[in-house]
Amino acid sequence: MNDAPLTRRRDARAASPTSARHAAVTRDPSFRPSFRALGQLAYGGARVSVAVLELDSGQPIFAVDERIVLPTASIGKILLLVEVSARLTERRLSDFAIVDREPRDAVADSGIWRHLQAPAMPISDLAALVGATSDNLATNVLLRQIGLDAVRTRTEQLGLVRTALLDVVRDTRGPDHAPQLSVGSAAELSWLFHALMHGQIIDRQTSDRVLGWLSLNTDLSLVASAFGRDPLSHQGVEHNTWMINKTGTDVGVRSEAGVLRGPRAGLTYALSVQFDDRDLASRLRVLDAMRTFGLDLLEWVH
């Protein structure tokens, strides 16, 4: 694998061949079930964006509106982990540097640190909490330590122009706040996992550290629900498959990006759906479609 740093250049993207949108590659197995399921969501008023890349070559396999920007909720925390990992590699931070939590960092929802008594934790432990449970309190403490501007600068250096972590995590968002925690395009998120897998986000050490944190993720409720893995223990190879993922969940937002390898192939993928979360049936239709997409991924690699 090539360990050289990799960024997304606009001229390179413009010069690269693109496959037709809204069309699966003609191969058996195909993504026809995904196309139908996601198409039904779109006909129902949802906004859908999906991109799948072949792991070795980076060639597109399946895409639907892959360049549009949609809310991605907690997926943007990957960008924070990249900056933390880069600083650890550069020795601008120490794995064992202890950081205190403060009242201004407090936030509800995902994570376990707010349920614990520990008033402080090492930097690397906070990153592990973000990877494992998308811990909101740990995210805010890291952002206070690192700075949102530094994360934005690193994101731009990587060449990501449609993907960003916009704000700290908040219980409520007012008119003076960013409307979303993060946004992204499926094309850039699938590329990001492809670059991480090839050790090309800063360098191999930085990329592998980020992948290690993300491998702890316990949320297999969306696309990865189709992979048959144990949510609390899925770091190794099982039934000839291996995976890493990151999810983002908010009202009317379901998003996932990751990598899946099997005996026949490897893929990186991203899928985001923004929908009217008006009732349980609407939400379950989105979850069913995402699982259908996961089954197509699994069939492709297995």
Q: How would you classify residue 239: left for phi > 0, otherwise alpha for psi between -120 and 50, otherwise beta?
A: left
pLDDT at residue 11 tops 80: no
Q: How many CB atoms lie within 10 A of CB 179?
A: 10
Q: What confidence tier does 220 reach under pLDDT thresholds 50, 70, 90?
A: very high
**pLDDT tens per residue across span 269-299:** 999 999 999 999 999 999 999 999 999 999 9
pLDDT at residue 175 tops 90: no
- Give the C-alpha separation, 22 to 229, whole Å: 29
**Average pLDDT of span 98-102:** 93
Q: What confidence tier does 221 reach under pLDDT thresholds 50, 70, 90?
A: very high
**pLDDT tens per residue across span 224-253:** 999 999 999 999 999 999 999 999 999 999
Q: How many CB atoms lie within 10 A of CB 208?
A: 14
**Beta carbons of 301 and 241 less than 8 angstroms apart:** yes
Sheet of 164-165, strands arranged across: 70-71, 182-184, 164-165
pLDDT of residue 22: 40
pTM: 0.89
Whether residue 5 is preceded by a cis peptide bond, meaning omega within 30 degrees of 0, is: no
pLDDT at residue 103 tops 60: yes
**Beta carbons of 271 and 290 less than 8 angstroms apart:** yes
**pLDDT tens per residue across span 18-57:** 333 443 344 456 899 999 999 999 999 999 999 999 999 9
DSSP 8-class letter at 223: G
Greater pLDDT, 29 or 93: 93
pLDDT of residue 191: 98
Of 206, 80, 205, 92, residue with least CA distance to 154? 80
pLDDT at residue 210 tops 60: yes
**CA–CA distances in Å: residue 67 to residues 80, 86, 273:** 22, 27, 13
**Beta carbons of 245 and 224 less than 8 angstroms apart:** yes
Of 216, 92, 74, 107, residue with least CA distance to 145? 92
pLDDT of residue 287: 98
Six-digit token pair at 183? 């946004």
- Give the C-alpha separation, 158 to 177, whole Å: 25
Six-digit token pair at 206? 């930085």
**pLDDT tens per residue across span 138-174:** 999 999 999 999 999 999 999 999 999 999 999 888 8
pLDDT of residue 1: 45
Rounded (to 5) percent helix, strand, coil in the chain: 40, 20, 40
Q: How many CB atoms lie within 10 A of CB 236?
A: 8
**Beta carbons of 281 and 219 less than 8 angstroms apart:** no
Q: What is the CA radius of gyration of the chain?
A: 18
DSSP string of 66-82? TTS-EE-GGGGHHHHHH
DSSP string of 56-120? TT--EEEEESTTS-EE-GGGGHHHHHHHHHHHHHTTSS-TT-EEE--GGG---SS-SGGGS--SE
